Structure 1
Amino acid sequence: MTEDDQTDEISEIEARIEALAEIAERCRKFILASKIAIGGGAALLLITILGLFGFGQVAALGSIALVLGGIVSLGSNISTLRQTEAAISAAEMRRLELIGRIDLRLVADTPMKLM
Structure 2
Amino acid sequence: MIEDDPSDEISDIEARIEALAEIAERCRKYILASKIAIGSGATLLLITILGLFGTGQTAALGSIALVLGGIVSLGSNVSTLRQTDEAISAAEARRSALIGSIDLRVVADAPMKLV
* Same fold flag (TM > 0.5): yes
- Runs of 4+ residues over 4 Å off in structure 1: 109-113
CA RMSD across the alignment: 1.7
- Structure 2 gaps of 5+ residues are none
Counterpart amino acid of residue 18 in structure 2? E
Q: After the TM superposition, which of the residue ranges 102-111 and 40-49 deviates more from structure 2? A: 102-111
Residue 91 of structure 2 aligns to a residue in which SS?
A: helix
Counterpart amino acid of residue 99 in structure 2? I
Residues of 1 paired with 2:85 and 2:8: CA distance?
23
Residue 16 of structure 2 aligns to a residue in which SS?
A: helix
- Percent identity at matched positions? 79
Counterpart amino acid of residue 68 in structure 2? L
| Residue 47 (1) aligns with residue 47 (2) | yes
Mapping of residues 29-40 of structure 1, within 5 Å: 29-40=29-40
Counterpart in the other structure of 1:63:
63
Counterpart amino acid of residue 77 in structure 2? N
Q: Classify 1:112/1:53 alpha carbon distance in 2 versus 1 (closer, same or farther; 3 Å).
A: farther
Residues of 2 paired with 1:39 and 1:67: CA distance?
7
- Structure 1 gaps of 5+ residues are none
Displacement of 1:112: 7.6
Residues of 2 paired with 1:112 and 1:95: CA distance?
36
Residues of 1 paired with 2:79 and 2:113: CA distance?
57
Residues of 2 paired with 1:98 and 1:77: CA distance?
31
Report the TM-score, using the length of structure 1 for normalisation.
0.91
| Residue 86 (1) aligns with residue 86 (2) | yes
Report the TM-score, using the length of structure 2 for normalisation.
0.91
Q: Count residues in correspondence.
A: 112
